Amino acid sequence: MYLIGSNCIRFPWYIAKDFPRDALAKQDREKFLNFIENYNSSLRWNLWERTTFYLVKLLYFPMSKPFHAYLRKQKFNALKVSLYGAFPPQFWGDKSDNKTIRLGCSKDDDCLAYIDFLDFSKTQANWLGIKLPMPVLLAGAGTFNHPYKVDYQNDSYAKSLVLIQYDFFKSKLPVFLENFNS
């Protein structure tokens, strides 16, 4: 599940509540929904962050881009600490029947974040594969300095494309993803 928004002042992240019902156990699902409801307001940029950024942008423009990147990284780290603190340690384990989540983010610009729902009861032998068509979000802003790209090395959703059971895609898909980012 991708977070909505691009972790910037105008478009802050927002965690949607529409994830698969059977992705988590019932008590964990309720805890996760409560976390989403309580934490979404913290993902918005507060007055201090906005004012500081605009002052840096106004007073010393070359420093505004690294400062914005620093603020985005801080937002992701705060989300990570809060999410991992909301659940007990046994929730994060990789036991054979555990259903859990993992949080990830695009490493270059901290604009695209995702929450992976993991079910450790499924193995490569009993997993049927992904269902097509499947939307894949792109990292980046679509500008010259930050072009769109597929974060196929870190995004497990994009990585699952190579697990498609069709032989036709197995040799062509990694080459397509590599060429897309160049």
Last residue of a domain, one of 73, 92, 121: 121
Task: Tell me which H or E stretch contains 177.
Answer: helix 167-180
Query: How many distinct structural domains can be found in the chain?
Result: 2
* Same-domain check for residues 54 and 35: yes
Question: How high is the pLDDT of residue 121?
Answer: 80
Task: Tell me which H or E stretch contains 119.
Answer: strand 113-119
Q: Whole domain around residue 7: which residue ranges?
A: 1-121
Predicted TM-score (pTM) of the model is 0.71
d(CA 62, CA 67): 9
Is residue 172 very low, low, confident or very high in pLDDT (cuts 50, 70, 90)? low
* Same-domain check for residues 135 and 116: no
**What are the backbone angles phi and psi of residue 123, rounded to the nearest 5°?**
-120, 175
Can you tell me the mean pLDDT for 2-16? 91
* Same-domain check for residues 143 and 95: no
Can you tell me the mean pLDDT for 129-134? 64
d(CA 57, CA 135): 35
Last residue of a domain, one of 90, 121, 152: 121
Mean pLDDT for all residues in the chain: 82
* Same-domain check for residues 1 and 50: yes
Last residue of a domain, one of 93, 121, 149: 121
Name the amino acid, one letter, at 170: K
In the predicted structure, residue 164 carries a pLDDT above the cut 70: no
